[in-house]
Structure 1
Amino acid sequence: MDDDRALIDRFLEMMAAERGASRNTLLAYRRDLEGVRATVGSLASACKAQLGGLAAAWEALAASSVARKVSALRAFYSFLEEEGMRGDNPSSALPRPVTRRPLPKILSTGEVDSFFAVIAERMAVEHPAPLDIRLSALIELLYGSGLRATELISLPRRALATDRPFLILRGKGARERLVPISDRARAAVATWLPYVPVDSPWLFPSGKSHLSRIRLYQMVKALAAAAGIPPERVSPHVLRHAFATHLLEGGADLRALQSMLGHADIATTQIYTHVDSRRLVELVNRRHPLAAMTTVRPHRRVDGDAQAP
């Protein structure tokens, strides 16, 4: 039981740092996980059969409540698997309530430009601060390559080669993928490398390990505030969403985007097509010639509205 509590604490810490989860979401997830723990006995050792049995326990609940509980458990077991604390993921046995998936939070290209404008201003001085040089490399990689926060902070010191515009990354579920790296990002990392201790195994070291998810989260929030963007709208995961959305808007192929993001199922990637569709609808409503026509002329009816001769 105590092990479960420790794992829940670590999971919620990750959700706050990497996903920017709100306090209410974290409290709801804690309640959900504690409730399931009371039902199955132990989250850490729960099997598929035990999780599959939750459908009966949740039968009287609204679909939205079940969806939240399932979301909490899926994220929790993905976290355990990613961190190497479980070799399997039993969450596939959970019920699948039919609900509308919310659109991801995104930033406009103008808002992203304001991020980089703040960084450019800090880098334009004669001797930029090492922390600003590090921030430049982090943001260039985060937005420019769509890395997950965990993937970014744990990059090895030699992950990027100056003559290679990509890196091979081992992401969720130990799946390897090729991640393209822009010239800007490689230049930013090259500027940062002289500040990395030669004996460090990490590209972004901190203390005896690498930079933490919480610290990255704090840095992104602070940068958002400096750029004039409400910090509550921004997190490392939001920048990943922005990377995907802006690529799709620019004409990227959905399968290529799936590969770059490291999604096992293209259905996960397809959420960005809904974001793009919403943008297209807004574009039609703003730019189409009919949008300027404020008066709708009534049509004469032909079903007997006119008097008979």
Structure 2
Amino acid sequence: MAERDLLVDAYLQHLKVERGLGKKTLEAYAADLSGLLTFMDEESLELSEMDPPALSGWLLMLSARGLSARSQARHLSAVRGLFKWLLLEKEVKADPTELIDGPKILQKLPNVLDREEVGRLLSMPDRAAPRGRRDAAMLHTMYAAGLRVTELCTLPTGDVNLESGFLQVLGKGDKRRVVPLGAVARKRIEAWLPDRAEMAKPNAKALFVSTRGKGMTRQSFWKIIKKYAAAAGIQKNVTPHELRHSFATHLLLGGADLRAVQTMLGHADIGTTQVYTHVTGDHLGRMHEKYHPRG
């Protein structure tokens, strides 16, 4: 194995052990960095020989392959992290990424449902039937706690405290956070628990299980939310992500603190949360234009 490959492997090990990054995040880093290694192979370059012109050539290669500006920026972010670490480890004498500007990205604002649409969506499951009670509990939990779809589907029963009204959520990078649940979601979960006791296999840990008694899959929940969105007559493209986006946007519109929303969403970087301020800003702008006498 070439020295550059060994150094990249050592960096990935650093991210795993010292930064505590999860498996999927590490796989994404490895995939992005492998593109750089491929370029270096083609150009017969070592890491110590990478300078700003060489990095510009690598970015041009990514662009020629048809990668979007957002994908290029993600690749560059992974490479920036690598060279910062190499500099600290004294494997390179300078960080060539410091002189490289990232590709310009048009920020894509998240799609959100308004409160009336969320209300219609949450009311769709038939709570007279076990599956309807499960679906209602899942939808209410996702909207009440702003969970990622994987967090929702893998949520263990033991991490739900209905008495206190809080969830313990295991998020990205195996980082735990505590999220309030809300009164309505608590009631929906309480209504589902007797059905779960009958449906779940003895070794099932997940709060939400399928009719086969095993934990729900991401794909199953995607189908569920699509079905109820269509039944509710919602024209927007509704996915679990949109329900999470709606959670954050509605909190900010209600006056919630940005840092609190960041914590509840499990964002490591507040910049990720700040995209929602653009959505709420657009909403406030429309309200001002509609209702202000000089709007």
Normalized against structure 2, the TM-score is what?
Answer: 0.69
Whether the aligned pair in 1 keeps the contact of 2:142 and 2:243 (CA below 8 Å) is: yes
2:278 corresponds to 1:277? no
Could you list the per-position Cα deviations for residues 3-46 of structure 1 after superposition, in whole angstroms to 9, with x for gaps in the alignment? xxxxxxxxxxxxxxxxxxxxxxxxxxxxx98x9499369xxxxx
Could you list the per-position Cα deviations for residues 219-256 of structure 1 after superposition, in whole angstroms to 9, with x for gaps in the alignment? 100110000012x6100010000000000000000000
Q: Output the CA distance in 2 between the equivalents of 1:204 and 1:56.
A: 49
Whether the aligned pair in 2 keeps the contact of 1:66 and 1:97 (CA below 8 Å) is: no
Could you list the per-position Cα deviations for residues 94-118 of structure 1 after superposition, in whole angstroms to 9, with x for gaps in the alignment? 9732323111111111111111232
Q: Output the CA distance in 2 between the equivalents of 1:134 and 1:208.
A: 12
| Greater mean deviation of Cα atoms: 246-255 or 192-201 | 192-201
In the other structure, the counterpart of 1:117 is 123
1:1-309, aligned counterparts within 5 Å? 36=35, 39=38, 55-59=56-60, 61=63, 65-70=67-72, 92-93=81-82, 96-119=102-125, 122-123=126-127, 128-196=128-196, 197=200, 199=202, 200-206=204-210, 207=212, 209-230=214-235, 233-291=237-295
How many residues are matched? 232
Task: Could you list the structure 1 runs, at least 4 aligned residues long, displaced by more than 6 angstroms after superposition.
Answer: none
**Higher RCO, 1 vs 2 (CA within 8 Å, ≥6 residues apart):** 1
Could you list the per-position Cα deviations for residues 136-182 of structure 1 after superposition, in whole angstroms to 9, with x for gaps in the alignment? 01000111110000000001122212212112212001111111111
Cα deviation for residue 214 of structure 1 reads: 0.7
Tell me the SS of whatever aligns to 2:278. Answer: helix
CA RMSD of aligned residues (A): 3.3
Whether the aligned pair in 1 keeps the contact of 2:258 and 2:274 (CA below 8 Å) is: yes
Cα deviation for residue 259 of structure 1 reads: 0.4
| Greater mean deviation of Cα atoms: 217-226 or 96-105 | 96-105
| Structure 1 residues 54 and 182: alpha-carbon distance in aligned structure 2, compared to 1, 3 A threshold | farther
Q: Output the CA distance in 2 between the equivalents of 1:164 and 1:274.
A: 33
| Structure 1 residues 71 and 169: alpha-carbon distance in aligned structure 2, compared to 1, 3 A threshold | farther
Q: Partner letter of residue 177 of structure 1?
A: R
Cα deviation for residue 202 of structure 1 reads: 1.4
Gaps of 5+ in 1: 1-31, 42-47, 78-88, 292-309
Tell me the SS of whatever aligns to 2:105. Answer: coil
| Structure 1 residues 208 and 163: alpha-carbon distance in aligned structure 2, compared to 1, 3 A threshold | closer
In the other structure, the counterpart of 1:300 is none
Whether the aligned pair in 2 keeps the contact of 1:58 and 1:66 (CA below 8 Å) is: no
| Structure 1 residues 277 and 190: alpha-carbon distance in aligned structure 2, compared to 1, 3 A threshold | same
Percent identity of paired positions between Structure 1 and Structure 2: 37
Whether the aligned pair in 2 keeps the contact of 1:160 and 1:186 (CA below 8 Å) is: no
Whether the aligned pair in 1 keeps the contact of 2:59 and 2:72 (CA below 8 Å) is: no
Tell me the SS of whatever aligns to 2:281. Answer: helix
